[in-house]
Amino acid sequence: MTLAYSPDTAPAASPLASLMDRVGLRMPFAKGEEIFGQDEAADMIHSIVSGAVRTTRLQSDGRRQIGDFYYPGDIIGLETGDLYRFSAEALSDCVIHVVKRSSLHVLRGDGSLDRTLWEATRRELERTQEHLLMLGRKSACEKVASFLRDVAQRVGCEDVSLPMGRQDMADYLGLTIETVSRMVTQLQGSRIVEFASARQFRVTRWPALERLAA
């Protein structure tokens, strides 16, 4: 999570990824396709090779919350007992390395696998706690600022392209798409970020962005 990565290509492999390479299967998914579904039996672990993924949870009345966005090198499907608690969908065309949980037993023994999975789960927990903090106590403007900062930071290069649309941002931040749009416009008005198109931007004033993200 803290590592830099090259978008759309396989990144420097995590320890787990290298273990997983020995078992499992690479599968392509088309943009918008479901990788796994909420409440399905959780018998797979997924590692992203290329592309981007969102995890979502749908309530009966249609309200949607996005759990997180995932990029090459990230693992999804850890957070679960017997059933997936979120569904996962491809934000773009992507390739996923899929491993049956049961086949991981082959690699068990020295305990290093267990500890690696635990480590990954802990990082996931940290990210979720950070997300929690944002939802609970930040204003709309601070939320959008934090989001753009996090994405820009992760990519690490000048021009950032967002793999997700406004609705996804809104459902991640607990806002409406109108509010997200207004805040983006506002941040642009104060010359803190600059959008070339709706999904392409760069940060023009990092300190100001950091300050707003609080």
Residues that bind DNA (CB under 7 A): 139-141, 165-167, 174-182, 184-185, 195, 197-199
Sign of the alpha-carbon dihedral angle for 90, 91, 97, 103: negative
Handedness of CA 193, 188, 177, 65 (dihedral sign): positive
Structure-derived torsion over alpha carbons of residues 160, 165, 171, 172, reported in degrees to the nearest 10: -20
Q: Which of 121, 185, 190, 200 binds a copy of itself (CB under 8 A)?
A: 121
**CB 83, min distance to a copy of itself, A:** 11
Among DNA, a copy of itself, none, what binds residue 41 when CB lies within 5 to 8 Å by partner kind? none
Rg value, the chain, Cα: 18
Does the footprint of a copy of itself cover residue 30 (CB under 8 A)? Answer: no
What residues from 136 to 165 belong to the interface with a copy of itself (CB under 8 A)?
136-137
Q: How many angstroms from the chain centroid is the CA of residue 209?
A: 21
Taking the C-alpha atoms of residue 159 and residue 166, their distance in angstroms, rounded to an integer, is 18
Residue 36 interacting entry, from a copy of itself, DNA, none, C-beta within 5 to 8 Å by type: none
- Which positions lie near a copy of itself, rule CB under 8 A? 57, 59-61, 63-65, 67, 78-81, 85-86, 108, 111, 114-115, 117-118, 121-122, 124-126, 128-129, 131-133, 135-137, 171, 173-174, 214
